[in-house]
Amino acid sequence: MKRFQLDMEEMTGEFFDNARLLGIVAPVNDYQLCWLVNRLFRFRFRMNNDIEIQLTKRQRKYYFPIYEYCEPHSSLTHYLYNNQHDGEFLLPEFRHLDFLWLLKGDLIEDEDISDLIASIKHIMGVQLVVELTNEKILNKEHLIL
């Protein structure tokens, strides 16, 4: 029987086409950050258990919840990942970040990202917001839904 191997590099490349990723430092719980974001932007972030990420490290399973918001009348979807669970990190190369905000599904202009970053910085508890470039993300496959 012929064996097929999944090309993760091609899959991650396609997944991140036209996607933008923000890193957030905010020492608050994920549900608190979502509540604050929902109030400020009038979004409706909701936890989506169907796309929760499960990683196995050192013979133990770690679960990373994902909150999702689909913009009405647009193909743009926002995903908010918790970067830490029980001492493990979804993206270990960004240990200092508490959350990852992925925007995907539509072209996002630089000006729109700058406005979003500036607005997120005004949320109570948020200490830092930075845009992460694809070249800096070593474990992109961890973010694939």
In whole angstroms, what is the distance from residue 141 CA to residue 15 CA? 9
Mean of all residue pLDDT scores within the chain: 88
SS3 state of residue 78: strand
Candidate from 8-12, 25-29, 67-71 with smallest mean pLDDT: 8-12
- Position 13 in a domain: no
- Position 5 in a domain: no
Q: Is a pLDDT exceeding 70 seen at residue 6?
A: no
What global pTM score does this model have? 0.86
Residues 6+ apart with CB under 8 A from 83: 23, 64, 89, 90, 91, 94, 97, 98, 99, 100
* pLDDT in the model for residue 5: 58
* pLDDT in the model for residue 23: 96
Structural domain containing residue 52: 19-143
pLDDT bracket for residue 86 (50, 70, 90): confident
* pLDDT in the model for residue 90: 92
- Position 62 in a domain: yes
- What does the pLDDT average to over 26-32? 95
Please state the domain count of the chain: 1
- Position 50 in a domain: yes
**Amino acid, single-letter form, for residue 113:** I
CATH number at residue 109: 3.30.310
Q: Are 39 and 68 in contact (CB under 8 A)?
A: no
**% of the chain exceeding 70 in pLDDT:** 88
* pLDDT in the model for residue 97: 96
- Position 63 in a domain: yes
Q: Is a pLDDT exceeding 80 seen at residue 142?
A: no
Q: How many CA atoms, within 13 angstroms, populate the side-chain half-sphere of residue 101?
A: 21
Candidate from 67-76, 82-91, 94-103, 130-139 with smallest mean pLDDT: 130-139
- Position 110 in a domain: yes
- Position 82 in a domain: yes
Q: What is the DSSP letter of 14?
A: H
- Position 123 in a domain: yes
